[in-house]
Amino acid sequence: MAWFRKKKKFTPIGAQKTDLPEGVWAKCPSCAEYVTNDDIRRNLHRCPKCDHYSVFPIEERIQHTLDDGSFEEFDSNLASKNPLDFDGYDKKLQSAKQKTGRHEACVAGRGTIHGYPVIFAALDFSFMGGSMGSVVGEKITRCAERAVNDELPLVVISTGGGGARMHEGTLSLMQMAKTSAAIGRMKQHGVPFISVIAHPTMGGVAASFAALGDVIIAEPGALIGFAGPRVIEQTIGQQLPKGFQRAEFLLDHGMIDMIIERPQVRETLKPLIHHMWYARIAARNEQRDQTGLSIAGRTA
Amino acid sequence: MRYLEFEKPLREIESKIEQLEVYASSRDIDLSHEIQPLKDRLHSMVDEIFSQLTPWQRVQLARHPDRPYTMDYIRNFVEEFVELHGDRMFRDDLAIITGMGSIAGRSVAIVGHQKGRDTDENIRRNFGMPHPEGFRKARRMMEMADRHRLPIVCFIDSPGAFPGLGAEERGQHVAIAENLEIMSKLRVPIVCVVLGEGGSGGALAIGVGNRVLMLENAYYAVCTPEACAAIILKDRTKAATVAGTMRIVPNDLLNLGVIDEVIPEPIGGAHRNPGETAQNVKAGIVRHLDHLCALGEDELIEQRYKRFRDIGVFYEAETTGPALAGI
């Protein structure tokens, strides 16, 4: 399945190299410049010197994307079992839970973007690479079903480099069909789904709901594809061209709609949600008002 | 016949029987009193070897070079088969076969992976590993079936979607995802049979059926045991060990709700009696189609949706994660 090169991280400078306090400075994996962690955070986890993108921590991602204080999480208690008794999976889950403080690799809920209510989900790369097992599949499916029920657009931000989670075997594979079918239902009901893809998103996540957005937005340089670059290199026995499977490559080949810099993602979502959904809702409400009918719950 | 490592004890005795039979017929003498004990021994050996197959041995049988492939089944029980080619977009991918025919008097659309029997054919068919155009060819056939109200039969037998430059350029992940979505909406019955290798997304891309049946010595997995061993254990050679952990053989998948029925193979595996295997496969398809064809369009869509909707194992923890509300 899909794997990818180990993601380079900002490496804190060891105390022996400098007398600066630990955790304050980091070295950019791309331009090797030293920058402060505060600057990186303020710059939405992009290197202030060379604009290299690192993983956007999920809390900050939600905070940045949705209106302040608007996020209501649901299904946060859904947790994975070890259905195959896969050796080492319990331990892996345990340490991921400890690291992130959450039960699984997907955070889902409801919030607003510039006042427009949406169903929102994001994959957490720091929880087993944002891979999809039963819980992630279930949460995404519930989001799509809620979107249809509540007549709200769905926005999902994927950072699913792990693809379909191997530790849940064929059950993970089936989540691809399950989530895709749920997105299919949204489309039949005409409820919009916007898929935002961040680095890296591969395998079972890329080859299911993430590829099915009415609109697909990617962050610059994001690695997106089915097979991991290493697997392809082994298969064809040669080095891959530069930029292969990057967002720019996908845009060139017509696989995504646009590449948007991280600070502008929220601004880009607003008109899309408006055109695809709330313009119509507003028109509908206006018509009903004129005919003397009023419906509740459709503001915005 | 070619022999797998664990089948090798059978080779000696089978060749001895053959020699004796040839000798007997050439000299026109009766050696049955010599041959019969050998045949008895062969049977008991086959029973012994095949009654306790490990998951890894089943994987090897699923990949056996003599195992019947999609086209062998079509030749056996599909009447008036007409093969159709091409995705109308880029190229005809020979790793996938599409067409129409009739099974037990009922017209159906057929979609299946096809491996090659020899090196030349394998190169043409890319070892049964489709490119995006293969999945789009399958999609074209299935959408056509939907228009003409033909039930769909899918034969799954692929190591996986092809991991290559062109495949990624043309949107391998998009082609697979779109098939998953489209199959979930089709108004006609879909019966899928995993004949050999159920390799990952490449298998699932023609696997969203109302029923998913599976031959006894087939596997269906999120990735090949070799890839799983390489990634999880960092050692490709541990595929045999990891094959058990992955729960990829029919009985495990039946328990997990991934498949609906196991189709028995003749003792020794499908390749030892392709005709009998094909008849078992046919019987399974016909029985399920009979049932599904009695359902209405909405019922079919709903049943298929729910079938996949219900797959997954999780629990509701008493504690939630840290409150992310109000961010």
- CATH for B60-309 is 3.90.226.10
For A240, other C-beta atoms within 10 Å of its C-beta total: 14
Among A93-102, B129-138, B311-320, the range scoring the smallest mean pLDDT is B311-320
Residues of chain A positioned with their CB less than 8 A from the CB of B315: 78-79, 81
Q: What is the pLDDT of residue B322?
A: 57
Q: What is the pLDDT of residue A300?
A: 44
CATH 3.40.47.10 at A56-290, yes or no: no
Angle at B217 between CA B213 and CA B221, to 5 degrees: 70
Residues of chain A positioned with their CB less than 8 A from the CB of B234: none
- Render pLDDT for B150-198 as a digit per residue (tens, 0 to 9): 999 999 999 999 999 999 999 999 999 999 999 999 999 999 999 999 9
Q: What is the pLDDT of residue A16?
A: 46
Spatial contact of A229 and A244, defined as CB atoms under 8 Å apart: yes
- Nearest CB partner across the interface for A236, out of B164, B232, B256: B164
Among A226-240, B76-90, B245-259, B280-294, the range scoring the smallest mean pLDDT is A226-240
The two structure tokens encoding residue A275: 């055109």
B54 pLDDT exceeds 80?
yes
C-alpha distance from A291 to closest chain B C-alpha (Å):
34
In this structure, the strands spanning A201-202 and A224-225 are parallel
Residue reference for tokens 């070892």: B127
In this structure, the strands spanning B96-103 and B79-84 are antiparallel
Q: Phi and psi (nearest 5°) for B307?
A: -55, -45
Residues of chain B positioned with their CB less than 8 A from the CB of A135: 312, 314
For A289, other C-beta atoms within 10 Å of its C-beta total: 11
In this structure, the strands spanning B79-84 and B314-316 are unpaired
In sequence order, the β-bridge partners of residue A80 are B314
Q: Give CA B315 to chain center in angstroms.
A: 31
Q: Where in chain B is the domain with CATH 3.90.226.10?
A: 60-309
For B312, other C-beta atoms within 10 Å of its C-beta total: 25
In one letter, which amino acid is B249? Answer: V
What's the per-residue H, E or C state across A55-101? CCCHHHHHHHHCCCCCCEEECCCEEECCCCCCCCHHHHHHHHHHHHC
Q: Which helix H or strand E contains B147, and what residues bound it? A: helix B132-147
Alpha carbons B171 and B173: distance in angstroms, whole number: 5
Q: Which residue of B has its CA nearest to A68?
A: B327
Structure ipTM: 0.94
Q: Which residue of A has its CA nearest to B305?
A: A181
**Counting beta carbons within 10 angstroms of the beta carbon of residue B26, is it exposed (0 to 12), middle (13 to 18) or buried (19 or more)?**
exposed
Asked whether the beta carbons of residue A173 and residue B204 sit closer than 8 angstroms, the reply is yes
B305 pLDDT exceeds 90?
yes
Domain residue spans of chain A: 1-54, 56-290
Spatial contact of A173 and A203, defined as CB atoms under 8 Å apart: no
Q: What is the pLDDT of residue B33?
A: 87
Q: Which residue of A has its CA nearest to B324?
A: A73
A200 cis-preceded (ω within 30 degrees of 0): yes
CB contacts < 8 A (A, B): 231
Instruction: Give the CA distances from residue A125 to residues A286, B262, B327, in Å, rounded to whole numbers and listed in that order.
Output: 43, 37, 19
Alpha carbons A284 and A291: distance in angstroms, whole number: 11
Residues in chain A where the model's pLDDT stays below 50:
14-18, 299-300
Residue reference for tokens 């082994």: A234
**Counting beta carbons within 10 angstroms of the beta carbon of residue B76, is it exposed (0 to 12), middle (13 to 18) or buried (19 or more)?**
middle
Residues of chain A positioned with their CB less than 8 A from the CB of B320: 73, 76-77, 103
Spatial contact of B110 and B155, defined as CB atoms under 8 Å apart: yes
Asked whether the beta carbons of residue A84 and residue B220 sit closer than 8 angstroms, the reply is no
C-alpha distance from A274 to closest chain B C-alpha (Å):
23
Q: What is the mean pLDDT of chain B?
A: 94
Q: Give CA B322 to chain center in angstroms.
A: 44
In one letter, which amino acid is A116? Answer: Y
Long-range contacts: A50-54, Cβ < 8 Å, 24+? A51/A220, A52/A28, A52/A221, A53/A198, A53/A199, A53/A219, A53/A220, A53/A221, A53/A222, A53/A262, A54/A7, A54/A8, A54/A9, A54/A10, A54/A29
- Render pLDDT for A20-54 as a digit per residue (tens, 0 to 9): 566 788 899 899 999 999 999 999 999 999 999 99
- Nearest CB partner across the interface for B228, out of A101, A134, A166: A166
Alpha carbons A190 and A153: distance in angstroms, whole number: 10
Residues of chain A positioned with their CB less than 8 A from the CB of B184: 177, 180-181, 184
Asked whether the beta carbons of residue B312 and residue A174 sit closer than 8 angstroms, the reply is yes
Q: Phi and psi (nearest 5°) for A50?
A: -120, 0
Residues of chain B positioned with their CB less than 8 A from the CB of A72: 325
Asked whether the beta carbons of residue B309 and residue A181 sit closer than 8 angstroms, the reply is yes
pLDDT band at B240 (very low <50, low <70, confident <90, very high): very high
